[in-house]
Structure 1
Amino acid sequence: VADKYPSLRAFSGDAGYRGTAVDFATNGLGLVLHISEKIEGKWAVLPKRWVVERTFSWLGNFRRLSKDFEILPGTAENMIRIAMMKIALAECV
């Protein structure tokens, strides 16, 4: 995976991915898997999770990304890149 996606260095998971998934990510994929800690007590906002949720929400506003219309994964990946370019350009103007 690291050879195919050189920009991917690490990813996050919840407590369900502890144990063998961490070993597989490190040894098999050559990536770092960050496991979020269990939140005790009250509800709390996690540092980076809202960024991901917000981005998925923005991508859902694009018709071709609102459902899984694309047949090839590469086409869907390119549509995500185009949508993110449009979002970034809209922020600049």
Structure 2
Amino acid sequence: MKRLLDLIKNKFFLVTVAFMVWMTFFDKNDLFSQYDYHQQLNKLKQEEAFYKTETDKVNKDLSELTSDKAKLEKFAREKYLMKKDNEDVFVIVHDSKK
């Protein structure tokens, strides 16, 4: 009991405990903020990976469309419903409620 009382009266121990409490709860960069920053960083890394893959897909499509006229025509017909003068385009819409 005496050792515990001496430890509590030690000024270095008290300063260390006060510092730890301050850094854990009251500082601008406390543990809770660091956890939130870590979560945001992980989310941003996932978004970065997603956008990189999407950019790669778009660049691949772009290179295919600029190099091949048949693929360009297919793309225009599928995405923008373009047609030739003597053709009819039928658009089938599936009901998503089923």
TM over 0.5: no
TM-score (normalizing by structure 2): 0.19
Q: Work out which of the two has the higher radius of gyration on C-alpha atoms and give 1 or 2.
A: 2
Higher relative contact order (CA 8 A, sep 6+): 1
Bigger helix fraction: 2
Bigger strand fraction: 1
